[in-house]
Structure 1
């Protein structure tokens, strides 16, 4: 998540950045939708088709990670996987570094994928099965992937970064203890081509689209990809599904999702038993990202920001409830 000061709608900035790509002239359809989380994303039109500008301050991103993300997306598409497509700029670059009055930004553009978000479907068994199949295929392809140049960071670098941040926050002793617990715990988990590789990390229902015409899924937002055990993706996906599936139906949908996954890639039972530990990693990672994003505060904040800050403070409590407990 970006720092709160970057969450304000800034169409002037978006317009400066998007001019590095081909686009239709100013119209009511320009920037009709936007979303800001770990990056800002604004919609615009080219020849009547929707594209998305994604950008973030260079201070908030690692260049190596962004280049590696684009390389992985290109690889997936070469294998006919339903991943979003990056669009070259006027300079034929998929990633631009641009100087603006608001600072230096990294920017990319992607074509809109077919379909609707999984969360907007009726979540029937066929769709859930296809959703699982899509993740299984992603992991199968990942297990065969060898980066050409840049590499995404691994989970251990994420934990090292978390530790570095927490070392400067003396009151976060419990979060620091949790970090060290996870560092030691993950050292004991075996890694192999069949259980460890580059994962999406954010394979949640709003980042996966179901296309009824092709009866297949299309995946967006690889911004959080990292090297981790594949079950980390399964944990994140199942955790998100609990937000939109009735508790009494969840077990059935979970098995349906896993059945779809298994048509493409094997799940090791001993790895599934580690889901609680992967949930702890996600909670810690999310906790520290919130800490970083909310460290600045201003007088007379707008109402939406006050409300968001309140929800984030509640999220901090929820994510930290198991910190320091034995794994």
Structure 2
């Protein structure tokens, strides 16, 4: 289907919660590719078409993303049916460079790390600016289609009644926010250093893994980017120093972001709310994994920490709060269900 004969095809180890089977495809004298096979029934073919059409749009309009490679038939997606089960296949260009984790979180030698912070904001700002002019053929879902009070009430155990109430309150606040073209559109919805690669020669960033992309507020991606910064100072015991670092870090991110697009200052003021929304997304994902694996709901140290942030209205992921411990970041004693 894709002319991959003669390629060295290797399975990419799956991460927790992964929803696809992914392979690298390399052949001497040719650009490397990434082959993705979606096998779960939680996404329709139309939703997957919406994803790859959005990626193609971003690439064709100058977004720094890994482009979709068409099959020999000229299709962005192909479907293989085996034993009455559909496997939806797509191929991507492999992003140039490496992820930060592959470099043990060392940035380019001799270059200040602030370049990286700025470039993260800049590449995200470009994607959001392009989204403001995007008119989809096959539409992706809206953030609220998945994250709504009825679904969360059904997913979470009754022992988390306070959490359910707090999440319903959070969703009500989100529903009241502006959804104009400047504030709301297609977003990545999982923007972190695991989903882009850095060219260590130039510092340029290439974004991929749009599996969670949907219509939502641009501030959600910025909140994800804020959370990505905490790792640089998570071991600092002084809360004041952590807070100062995060202020400087996010200001640099916003400088890069603002070089490509504009965001309403009143939306920026909602950063604490959207950080809570990213915590909600993580919790929903964790409980979905438990359900899909047939496991009884349980709260480990990390989940317990996140739940307390939401139940007690502790802003900024508790990063500046007394509950945070630098020797055990983002962990609390596991709670019983």
* Alpha-carbon separation, structure 2, partners of 1:97 and 1:172: 40
Measured after TM superposition, the shift of residue 99 of structure 1 is 2.4
Which of 127, 146, 151 aligns to 2:116? It is 127
Match for residue 140 of structure 1?
129
Instruction: Give secondary structure in 2 for the equivalent of 1:35.
Output: coil
Match for residue 14 of structure 1?
none
**1:198 matched to 2:186:** yes
Alignment of 1:248-327 (within 5 A): 248=241, 249-295=245-291, 313-325=300-312
Contact 1:198 1:228 in 2 (8 A): yes
Match for residue 8 of structure 1?
none
Contact 1:195 1:230 in 2 (8 A): yes
Contact 1:132 1:257 in 2 (8 A): yes
Contact 1:204 1:241 in 2 (8 A): no
Q: Call closer, same or farther: CA 1:296–1:142 in 2, change over 3 Å.
A: closer
Which of 167, 184, 197 aligns to 1:179? It is 167
* Alpha-carbon separation, structure 2, partners of 1:239 and 1:215: 21
**1:34 matched to 2:13:** yes
* Alpha-carbon separation, structure 2, partners of 1:128 and 1:296: 36
The number of equivalent residue pairs is 294
Root-mean-square deviation (CA, aligned residues, Å) is 2.8
Structure 1 stretch displaced more, 113-122 or 50-59? 113-122
**1:211 matched to 2:199:** yes
Contact 1:82 1:217 in 2 (8 A): yes
Q: TM-score, normalised by structure 2?
A: 0.77
Contact 2:11 2:22 in 1 (8 A): no
Instruction: Give secondary structure in 1 for the equivalent of 2:41.
Output: helix
Structure 1 stretch displaced more, 252-261 or 230-239? 252-261
Contact 1:177 1:323 in 2 (8 A): no
* Alpha-carbon separation, structure 1, partners of 2:268 and 2:253: 14
**1:52 matched to 2:48:** no
Which of 76, 97, 107 aligns to 2:89? It is 107
Match for residue 166 of structure 1?
153
Contact 1:205 1:241 in 2 (8 A): no
Instruction: Give secondary structure in 2 for the equivalent of 1:294.
Output: helix
* Alpha-carbon separation, structure 1, partners of 2:6 and 2:83: 22
CA shift digits 1:2-61 (9 cap, x unpaired):
xxxxxxxxxxxxxxxxxx4321437xx421533342433221224553211112224122
Structure 2: any 5+ residue segments left out of the alignment? Answer: 316-337
* Alpha-carbon separation, structure 2, partners of 1:296 and 1:261: 37
Structure 1 stretch displaced more, 287-296 or 235-244? 287-296
Contact 1:22 1:46 in 2 (8 A): no
Measured after TM superposition, the shift of residue 72 of structure 1 is 1.1
Structure 1 stretch displaced more, 167-176 or 62-71? 167-176
Measured after TM superposition, the shift of residue 165 of structure 1 is 5.3
Measured after TM superposition, the shift of residue 254 of structure 1 is 2.2
Match for residue 70 of structure 1?
52
Q: Call closer, same or farther: CA 1:117–1:143 in 2, change over 3 Å.
A: same
Contact 2:152 2:164 in 1 (8 A): no
Instruction: Give secondary structure in 2 for the equivalent of 1:295.
Output: helix
CA shift digits 1:113-155 (9 cap, x unpaired):
11222453427112221221111111111111111x1111112
Instruction: Give secondary structure in 2 for the equivalent of 1:320.
Output: helix
* Alpha-carbon separation, structure 2, partners of 1:107 and 1:261: 33
Match for residue 81 of structure 1?
63
Contact 1:166 1:172 in 2 (8 A): no
Structure 1 stretch displaced more, 57-66 or 277-286? 57-66
Structure 1: any 5+ residue segments left out of the alignment? Answer: 1-19, 300-308
